[in-house]
Chains A and B, each alone.
Chain A
Amino acid sequence: MDNPVFHIEKLNFWYGAKQALFDVDVTIRPNQSTAFIGPSGCGKTTLLRCLNRMNDLIERTRVEGKIALHGQGLYAPEVDVIELRKRVGMVFQKSNPFPKSIFDNIAYGLRIQGVNSKNDLADRIEASLRKAALWDEVKDRLNDSAMALSGGQQQRLCIARAIAVEPEVLLMDEPCSALDPVATAKIEELIQDLKKEFTIVIVTHNMQQAARVSDHTAFFYLGKLVEFDVTTKIFTNPANKQTEDYVTGRFG
């Protein structure tokens, strides 16, 4: 098997006294998109947020077990969390552009990385916007406020911002849940283009979306991983009855 990007083994997670994940084992493969699905409270977002240690920002959380990024323990004391989040970017449920121009939204992370020359910035920004399928819509108004964009455009801007710093992995937490069907379709198309260059992990409430955009699907229920397999298998012949009931809409 190709070298996994993430190797997750016997992962347990607690919010205070409440356990949210139980002995989860998942492997994330490179240049594929992996979807986490399951009913609310199943732990899918918690697991996603473990992958770039976003849960560190929440007090009284505790993690046990193993998550390795290319073999290196993610929770090892020597890990630089800022560096980690550069390698593992994230796009959130609600688009959250900075109240700045379109240009500056993307330039922000690049400047922190030390890209300062005007030409370099312009090139990298154009490349990111093109990859996010937004360039044609905004190329004539890069200095306009990002807040003036539509919801779908804002979300693609956030994707452009995330990929501008050239992460290896892109985590997406229900990236379409606030979007209309047309904007959703655009993001879904984008995901399939992006995985040529990035490894994608997406959490979605919408299992049809998981079917459309992912290569592998993990189904969670009550903090446990019920089934993890190639998406085709999950949606045509799942091994587990609970998975079948969920994907056929009979439960959850």
Chain B
Amino acid sequence: MELHFDHELTHLKEMLLRMAALAEQSVADALKALVERDDELARKVDMEDVQLDRMEIDVDREGVQLIALRQPKAGDLRFIVVAMKVATELERIGDQAVTIAHRSRELASEPPVKPLVDIPQMAAIVQKMTHDVLDAFVYIKPDLAREVITRDNEVDKLREQVHRDLTELMVKDPSTITRALNLMTVARKLERIGDHATNLAEDVVYLYEARDIRHQTE
């Protein structure tokens, strides 16, 4: 039997999907702004962030209301709790995109410090992680979510690599320090996006398997 409550849950899910699409877009815009030195795109990311902030508040309000009024149980309860956490992660992904976009604008005003190699690679991985974990959420694929988590190590390693390369560069040529620090920040923010994707993946596993896999050392 389909319940009125099912419609409310579907509505909440739709809110999340719109938010997820926007968060993905925001990261894509920020990276494009970086690579193509596009100032206009960097501004767009700011506006997307404002929207993401508002959507987070909307999802939370809806979630609190559904818990208070519908007394959700079992899978419904996990879905609402996870929805609120997903909204938080997506909003934070949006924040990371904003920082990347801001640093991109600063970088665009000066000559490139070096050709970008590892950063685009990191970006590709975290974007794929984000995309896949949202797929796992929508299409009920906890195994895909678990697999996403394993990719985070690669991101961490690349970030360390970027850090080493840029440090070396700054030691050799102190005139690159400002630009190199901006790039380091970009790398750190990409790594954070990977962390958010990992958190999302843990939430997806909890949602579909009712198992809490956070903070487990292998």
A182-197 near B? 1/0 per residue, CB < 8 Å = 0001000100100000
Across the interface, do A232 and B71 meet the contact criterion of CB distance under 8 Å?
Answer: no
Closest 6 A/B residue pairs (Cβ): A235-B68, A211-B69, A236-B68, A192-B4, A232-B65, A208-B71
Across the interface, do B64 and A212 meet the contact criterion of CB distance under 8 Å?
Answer: no
Q: Give the shortest distance, in Å, between A202 (CB) and chain B (any CB).
A: 15
- Is A231 in the interface zone, CB < 8 Å from B? yes
A207-234 near B? 1/0 per residue, CB < 8 Å = 0100110000000000000000001100
Across the interface, do A211 and B68 meet the contact criterion of CB distance under 8 Å?
Answer: yes
Q: Give the shortest distance, in Å, between A59 (CB) and chain B (any CB).
A: 40
**22 A-B pairs, CB-CB below 8 angstroms?**
A185-B3, A189-B1, A189-B3, A189-B4, A192-B4, A208-B71, A211-B68, A211-B69, A211-B70, A211-B71, A212-B69, A212-B70, A212-B71, A231-B69, A232-B65, A232-B68, A232-B69, A235-B68, A235-B69, A236-B64, A236-B65, A236-B68
A37 vs B69: C-alpha distance in the bound complex, in angstroms? Answer: 14
A185 vs B3: C-alpha distance in the bound complex, in angstroms? Answer: 9
Residues of A within 8 A of B (CB): 185, 189, 192, 208, 211-212, 231-232, 235-236
Q: Give the shortest distance, in Å, between A191 (CB) and chain B (any CB).
A: 10
Chain B interface bracket (under 10, 10 to 19, 20 to 34, 35 or more): under 10
Across the interface, name the chain B residue whose C-beta is closest to A232: B65
In B1-45, the 8 Å CB interface with A consists of 1, 3-4
A212 vs B64: C-alpha distance in the bound complex, in angstroms? Answer: 14
Across the interface, name the chain A residue whose C-beta is closest to B5: A212
Residues of B within 8 A of A (CB): 1, 3-4, 64-65, 68-71
Number of contacts between A and B (CB, 8 Å)? 22
Beyond the given A189-B1, A189-B3, A236-B65, could you list 11 further A-B residue pairs with CB under 8 A, ordered by the A residue number? A185-B3, A189-B4, A211-B68, A211-B70, A211-B71, A231-B69, A232-B65, A232-B68, A232-B69, A235-B69, A236-B64
**For B3, what are the chain A residues with a Cβ–Cβ distance below 8 Å?**
185, 189
Across the interface, name the chain A residue whose C-beta is closest to B65: A232
Q: Give the shortest distance, in Å, between B28 (CB) and chain A (any CB).
A: 36
Q: Give the shortest distance, in Å, between A113 (CB) and chain B (any CB).
A: 31
**For A212, what are the chain B residues with a Cβ–Cβ distance below 8 Å?**
69-71
**For B68, what are the chain A residues with a Cβ–Cβ distance below 8 Å?**
211, 232, 235-236
**For A185, what are the chain B residues with a Cβ–Cβ distance below 8 Å?**
3
A211 vs B65: C-alpha distance in the bound complex, in angstroms? Answer: 10
**For B69, what are the chain A residues with a Cβ–Cβ distance below 8 Å?**
211-212, 231-232, 235
Q: Give the shortest distance, in Å, between A37 (CB) and chain B (any CB).
A: 13
A70 vs B16: C-alpha distance in the bound complex, in angstroms? Answer: 42
**For B70, what are the chain A residues with a Cβ–Cβ distance below 8 Å?**
211-212
**For A232, what are the chain B residues with a Cβ–Cβ distance below 8 Å?**
65, 68-69
**For B65, what are the chain A residues with a Cβ–Cβ distance below 8 Å?**
232, 236
**For B71, what are the chain A residues with a Cβ–Cβ distance below 8 Å?**
208, 211-212
A236 vs B63: C-alpha distance in the bound complex, in angstroms? Answer: 11
Across the interface, name the chain B residue whose C-beta is closest to A247: B68
Q: Give the shortest distance, in Å, between B203 (CB) and chain A (any CB).
A: 23
Instruction: Kindly name the residue among B3, B68, B70 whose own CB sees the greatest number of chain A CB atoms within 10 A.
Output: B68
A185 vs B4: C-alpha distance in the bound complex, in angstroms? Answer: 11
Q: Give the shortest distance, in Å, between A12 (CB) and chain B (any CB).
A: 32
A232 vs B68: C-alpha distance in the bound complex, in angstroms? Answer: 8
A72 vs B69: C-alpha distance in the bound complex, in angstroms? Answer: 34
Q: Give the shortest distance, in Å, between B68 (CB) and chain A (any CB).
A: 4
A130 vs B111: C-alpha distance in the bound complex, in angstroms? Answer: 73
**For A211, what are the chain B residues with a Cβ–Cβ distance below 8 Å?**
68-71
**For A236, what are the chain B residues with a Cβ–Cβ distance below 8 Å?**
64-65, 68
**For A189, what are the chain B residues with a Cβ–Cβ distance below 8 Å?**
1, 3-4
**For B4, what are the chain A residues with a Cβ–Cβ distance below 8 Å?**
189, 192
**For B1, what are the chain A residues with a Cβ–Cβ distance below 8 Å?**
189
Q: Give the shortest distance, in Å, between B125 (CB) and chain A (any CB).
A: 41
**For B64, what are the chain A residues with a Cβ–Cβ distance below 8 Å?**
236
A192 vs B3: C-alpha distance in the bound complex, in angstroms? Answer: 10
**For A208, what are the chain B residues with a Cβ–Cβ distance below 8 Å?**
71
